[in-house]
Structure 1
Amino acid sequence: MITENQIHSLAKRWEIDQITVMREYLQILFLFYLYAQRKSDKIFFKGGTAIRFLFGSFRFSEDLDFTGTLESDEIIGLFNNACSDLNREIPAVEMENFKKKRNSIVSRIRYTPKPDTYPLGIHLEISIRERPITKAASHIETLLPVSPYPVVTHLESEEIMAEKIRALLKRAKGRDLFDLWYLLTKEVKLNWDMVKKKMEFYNDAATLTDLVSAVKAFNQKKLFDDLAKFLPRAQRKTIPGLKENILEKLGRFAVT
């Protein structure tokens, strides 16, 4: 179990609040227990938290996102088992009941260290209709006191980028803009054929021009309000120039 001193030290080092440090600790521990189970290789880690844990992004997150290729009940069983294992290590952790939607199942991990405190939450969402295009397995390296490191099955970076572009076109959150920018800075290939496949799942289509328009149209205040709390203090001053930086990089990357 992480100590208060360790939380304080990492919060200072990462220039973020202590609640965010504790949330990340719980996220990584949960992933450890999830991927220790048989059939967990059918659960594909993805999204902004995957970008942070696997590709070094400095944006923190309150979510864990996945694509699952098992039946819904099997997926729910794996997640409940992981939470039960986590609860034995940290008794104040519990899982809310899963809700089944058309294309996903969702839940929430709650951590309530004291009865009179507001619970720390981790939103869980598992896509269940869409099939992954890519597959990889990697360690999650961390400064947090988690050993051994989790080994997670995940989408490759190109596919994560394609899903981020789809998210940006469909729901428009500031964190998606940041994640796209970060992947572009890492020279992840912008594979438009993959973007097309992701859009086709929702019977939709998009062009690079549509993406550029979405970036330009994104409200600057909304961008700051959504993103600032997830960034280290020193990085928040870069938010005003984020859209311009993305547009510059989109102009240089070849679309394939």
Structure 2
Amino acid sequence: MNDSRLTDAQVIEFFHLAFLQVLQARLDQSRYVLKGGASLRYFFGSLRYSEDIDLDAVEIEPWKLEAKVDETLTSPAIEILLRSGGLALDQVAKPKQTATTQRWKPMLTVAGRRSLVRTKIEFSHRSADPRRILEAVPEHVVAPYALRPPMMLHYTADAAIEQKIAALALRSETQARDLFDLELLLRRHPAAVTAGAIAPNTLDLAVDRAVELPFQAFEDQVVRFLDAGIVELYDNPTAWGRMQAFVAERLAELRR
């Protein structure tokens, strides 16, 4: 494909898909679960590209996971896949490797460009939710990159909604992407979570965070990760206010 047509968000998605394709050949798929923005884009129809890739590690020692991910990132297979899109790994930093969190920060070169494109791979060793399903990434996601669809575990809609509500409520720094993602999930899966399933204080915090988020946060954190063709549908204070109101109302209903 012509790499010059790829946005930075698409370069990152290309890399994530290539990484997952090679990882599945090197690590048992039962040992990791995709979550967060990448999972929502691949399996829930999100219009937002994911800046990073987040996974839960399942019953695997950190040293073993580190070795498997390192092998994946240095493999000839990922080099060949990236080269097919005019991409290459310039370097990979490993700023955090602990018993609970393992993080890699790849930097990518793109043919015809000077600046590097950065992303992050993060595995959490905290308890993984058992509500998960094994699926292949849909063809329409991988088709623009001429890649084969990797298969992986991801969380079900109810688990994903609960995780996003917790993220909105409990992050040390509130993220506009959490509200954007919640609107998608709550509209597409309105009955996935029932009233009483989430602690009232968590819901109260999430509502407060939802209504406090300024439009500028959405512009800074989300807009550049949307397809150019749909930006006009979202990039205005009125649309943002409607998203906030919808999410706050639905969260309040879950408290009853």
TM-score range, shorter-chain basis?
0.7 to 0.9
- What is the CA–CA distance in structure 2 between the aligned matches of 1:122 and 1:162, rounded to whole Å? 25
Residue 192 of structure 1: CA displacement? 6.3
Tell me by how many angstroms 1:232 deviates.
2.3
Cα distance, 1:193–1:155 mapped onto 2, change above 3 Å: farther
Verify the 8 A CA contact 1:110 1:121 in the aligned structure 2.
yes
**In 1, distance between residues paired with 2:195 and 2:26?**
34
TM-score using structure 1 length: 0.81
Paired with 1:38 and 1:79, the residues of 2 have a C-alpha distance of: 9
Percent identity, aligned pairs only? 20
> For the residues of structure 1 that align with 2:136 and 2:51, how far apart are their CA atoms?
20
For structure 2, the 5+ residue unaligned runs are none
Quick check: 2:157–2:189 contact (8 Å CA) kept in 1?
Answer: no
CA contact (8 A) 1:140 1:150 kept: yes
Runs of 4+ aligned structure 1 residues displaced above 6 Å come to none
Report how far residue 187 of structure 1 moved.
1.7
Q: 1:206 aligns with which of 174, 192, 201?
A: 201
Superposed, 1:11-50 pairs within 5 Å as: 18-50=7-39
Q: Which amino acid aligns with 2:12?
A: R
Q: Which residue of 2 aligns with 1:238?
A: 234
Return the match for 1:186 from 188, 193, 200: 188
Instruction: Tell me the distance in 1 between the aligned counterparts of 2:113 and 2:48.
Output: 29
Alpha-carbon distance in structure 2 between the residues aligned to 1:82 and 1:40: 14
How many residue pairs get aligned? The number is: 237
Q: What is the SS of the residue equivalent to 2:74?
A: helix
Match of 2:79 among 71, 81, 87: 87
Structure 2 counterparts to residues 152-191 of structure 1, below 5 A: 152-171=152-171, 172-188=174-190, 189-191=192-194
Offset at residue 101 of structure 1 (A): 4.5
Task: Sort the Cα spacing of 1:32 and 1:192 in 2 relative to 1 into closer, same or farther, 3 A.
Answer: farther
Give the C-alpha shift of residue 127 in structure 1: 0.9
Measure how far apart 1:102 and its partner are: 6.3
Q: Deviation at 1:242?
A: 2.9
8 A contact 2:105–2:121 mirrored in 1? yes
Distance in 2 of aligned mates of 1:255 and 1:144: 38
Q: Identify unmatched segments of 5+ residues in structure 1.
A: 12-17, 197-204
Q: Deviations over 1:75-129 (max 9, x none)?
A: 2122122212312443621432251246311111221246983321221111112
User: In the alignment, which of 122, 129, 132 is matched to residue 132 of structure 1?
Assistant: 129
Which amino acid counterpart does residue 68 of structure 1 have in structure 2?
A
Superposition CA RMSD, Å: 2.7
Deviation at 1:208, TM superposition (A): 2.5
The match for 2:2 is 3
Shift of 1:193: 6.2
CA contact (8 A) 1:44 1:68 kept: yes
Q: Distance in 2 between matches of 1:119 and 1:221?
A: 26
- Given residue 79 of structure 1, which amino acid in structure 2 is its aligned partner? V
